[in-house]
Amino acid sequence: MQKESVKKKHRKYDAAFKSEALRQVQNGRGVPEVARSLGISENLLYNWRSLQRSEMSSEELATQTEIEQLRKQLKAVETERDILKKALHIIGRPT
């Protein structure tokens, strides 16, 4: 038996596809979710994000990092708010 070498074809993605994928991640969607929806590997998306960050100036990188941090805080506060709303609804019910 002879082993056949299987060559994987590397797909090429254009700049528009990459920027759209990265925009979705920057707008709050998780990398795994975006990768699944676009049919690409998570590692590829992380690599693209690293390349994008390495091309940013230090000021742009600081701004981007702050935006990501604020989005995480906003999501946490919204979750807390939703829990409190549900608790008020449960407490306020007549028994």
Residue ranges of the domains in the chain? 13-55, 58-95
Q: Tens of pLDDT along 7-38?
A: 667 788 999 999 999 999 888 788 999 999 99
Please report, for residues 24, 39, 50, 60, the alpha-carbon distance to residue 21 in angstroms, rounded to integers and kept in the order given: 5, 11, 13, 19
The residue-averaged pLDDT of 46-51 equals 92
Phi, psi of 2 (to 5 degrees): -110, 135
The residue-averaged pLDDT of 53-66 equals 88
To the question of pTM greater than 0.75 for the whole model, the response is no
